[in-house]
Amino acid sequence: MLGRVSVYAFERIGRELELMPLSARRAADLAGLRPSLDGWKSLSRQLRETLVELGRVPQVDTRVVAEVLAGARPMAQAISPELDPPSGAAPESLLSALGGERPLTPAVWSALSALDRYALVKVARKGASERLNEAYQEIVGVSAYSTHLDSRGGARMVSVSEKPASARRAVATARVSMNSEAFERLLRADAPKGDVLGTARLAGIMAAKRTSDLIPLCHPIALTRVEVALELEPAQRSVRIQSSVEAFDRTGVEMEALTSATAAALTVYDMLKAFDRSMVIGSTQLLEKSGGKSGDFRKTAPVAGPVERFSISEAPLSVDEAVRRVSRADAGGIAVFIGTVRDHNLGRPVQLLEYQAYASMAVKEMERIAIELEDEIPGTRLCVFHRVGALSIGDVAVICAASAAHREQAFRACRELIDRVKQRVPIWKREHDPSGSSWIGWEDARLPGSVG
């Protein structure tokens, strides 16, 4: 009955030719009935439409199918009811017929509709390789390599109708780093736009519920719980956001958790941007998920490697982190230098500083300086963090830390370290004052006579 037309081309033109479409054939097979072509033609158009629709749904109502076919003349032949091919993996007979050049993985097979699976098995039974290839290309095609693509390579929403519903949970985090003025507003809760943390929390909850409207191909999910927590981190002048999302559904809620955390972070930015437009939103990540066929996931700490003690970064600097990177059991003292942006220079007011650097060259020069000093002052360990980008008054621009067995060595190493960094590391700055701005090259800031 399939002829030389493709599976769903046959489905489309079936009614015009008065042939029995595959969807109707599936409905009859599952009901244990086999109507003849004359019996099919004897049915009214409305009954044939009903049978076609019954065969397209995942679960066929065989009772209604039998009632529809009871009106066929001649009457449909009774046969042993067929079962739909299992959804977990394609039958071996089909895989054998397809061969290695036409892959059909369990994931791709499970993503097909029940009618798609029926059609492939039905065509394979006919034993015609050309027809099977046509059916494979039309039903599977490019989706053999990704369940998120249709047979022709277009993006599609993956069907989850046959997946069992189960408890799903996901946790995601995001962080917003800012200058001192914006963070002080948070601490005092006196931002002009109102309650920053409360509004961001509400934005995170709302975003989780609207994720399918924002992210293409995401399924709408009936969430059972969304919790958004915001924690202030004074040392980093940042807000850490954690979003926990739960549902009892057929697909996971990782995107809902990530969207929630991101929306909360964007809301923090929007409500504080008047004080710092260079805020950094970063480290948005999934921490854990549970439920579903893929099992549980929990983000693990990266494998420990060499500790980076020298860096150039646009993110706010952490004194605690610098101390941690030079700490060790045999150190009797740790000295730290913190360079901050002040509101004047050589009698001129300063409103803002911009730092730039050749990052890779700057880090290498820091490392060379450290090697020299650790050789000159045995038993020391050094660390340099330098920030680049736009910095406001009070922002930390550079941190130098030195540990040693004795405090005198730590003091000396830290002082030498910052002096040599200012002398040799290719970092320069631009000062902004009420009358304009001007660049100060790193060579102009060398010791002695530094104007930095």
Contact between residue 419 and residue 372 where contact means Cβ atoms under 8 Å apart: no
What the block records as the tokens of 193 is: 């736009």
Contact between residue 175 and residue 239 where contact means Cβ atoms under 8 Å apart: yes
Give the span between the Cα atoms of 359 and 119, in whole angstroms: 60
- Closest by CA to 32, choosing from 73, 81, 68, 91, is 81
Which secondary structure element, helix H or strand E, spans residue 143, and what is its range? none
Contact between residue 342 and residue 350 where contact means Cβ atoms under 8 Å apart: yes
Give the span between the Cα atoms of 437 and 428, in whole angstroms: 14
Main-chain dihedrals φ then ψ at residue 108, nearest 5 degrees: -70, -45
Query: Helix, strand, or coil here: 352?
Result: strand
**Strands 396-404, 333-340: pairing kind:** antiparallel
Neighbouring-strand partners of residue 114: none
Contact between residue 253 and residue 221 where contact means Cβ atoms under 8 Å apart: yes
Buried b (16+ CB within 10 A) or exposed e, 381-404: bbbbbbbbebbbbebbbbbbbbbb
Give the span between the Cα atoms of 129 and 110, in whole angstroms: 23
Neighbours of 432 (CB within 10 A): 15
Report in angstroms the alpha-carbon separations of 15 from 71, 120, 161, 229, 273: 18, 21, 28, 58, 62
Q: Please indicate whether residue 276 is annotated as part of the active site.
A: no
Give the span between the Cα atoms of 193 and 132, in whole angstroms: 64
- State the number of CA atoms in the 13 A half-sphere of 324 facing the CB: 7
**Catalytic residue among 84, 270, 419, 433, which?**
270
CA angle 92, 97, 98 (to 5 degrees): 100
Contact between residue 208 and residue 291 where contact means Cβ atoms under 8 Å apart: no
Q: What is the 3-state secondary structure (H, E, C) of 239-265?
A: EEEEEEEEEEECCCCHHHHHHHHHHHH
The 352-357 sheet, strands edge to edge? 389-392, 352-357, 427-433, 436-440
- Active centre residues (catalytic): 270
